A = this chain, B = another copy of it.
Amino acid sequence: MSEKITVEKKVLSENDKLAVNIRTQLKQRGIVALNFVSSPGSGKTSLLEKTLGALNNELRIGLIAGDVQTENDANRLLRAGGKMVRPIVTGGACHLDARMISRVLPELDLEKIDVLFIENVGNLVCPSSYDLGEDMKVVLLSTTEGDDKPLKYPGMFRRSSVMVINKIDLLGSSDFDMNRVKENARRINADLKIFEVSCRTGQGLGEWYDWIKHLVNDARTSATG
């Protein structure tokens, strides 16, 4: 068992070196990078589709869509107007890692990107351990999954900077309690920034778009300033 842990550490430290390299490349160009993580079906692709629809004319958006199998998500993002979309099919692996990102990054023209959205594999456990060179992790949680999830999967909520609570149009169809989920999440991570949205009805998305625009502006300022 101790042997297994040693190997995992070695793999992680190789991952961390690659992630530093990715982060440097992105920072030099003032690119904001967000790593979207969640359970399968929380609405990562839906949120990115909506965000493309709203911001595609204002911002130059790069997208990397990871999946265990199929390029379905990447194709959805292309159909939603994504101009720079690259799929990663992990072929069984339960998370994206920095090596996979390093491989597809040269296929994106970084000089023409303001913000890079990386959609991770749907998995609330493993992706939390892998730095992809992002500025921050954005964890999605849909109301249909239950308000206990931050306590049961604390690693992901601890390592994320932002929580997007999706499917608020379905509040009332379960015993999901908005105050309780926030309380649970902030017990794990007091600094978590929280959005409440419905990708179906559009509710709450305006605030989310504004936040993305602010992030990009701030990054531009510090890259040029």
A152's partner among B69, B94, B124, B167 (CB-CB below 8 A) is B69
**Which residues A119-150 have CB closer than 8 A to chain B?**
121-126, 142, 144-146, 148-149
CB distance from A147 to the nearest CB of B (A): 10
Evaluate contact between A154 and B69: CB separation under 8 angstroms: yes
**Which chain B positions have C-beta within 8 A of A124?**
39-40, 122-123
Contact-residue bracket for chain A: 35 or more
Evaluate contact between A126 and B94: CB separation under 8 angstroms: yes
A204: Cβ under 8 A from any B Cβ: no
Please encode chain A, from 55 to 83, with 1 for each CB lying within 8 Å of some chain B CB and 0 for all others: 00000000000011110110000000000
Write the residues of chain A forming the contact surface with B, with a CB cutoff of 8 angstroms.
3-4, 7, 11, 39-41, 67-70, 72-73, 92, 94, 121-126, 142, 144-146, 148-149, 151-155, 167, 169-170, 173-174, 200
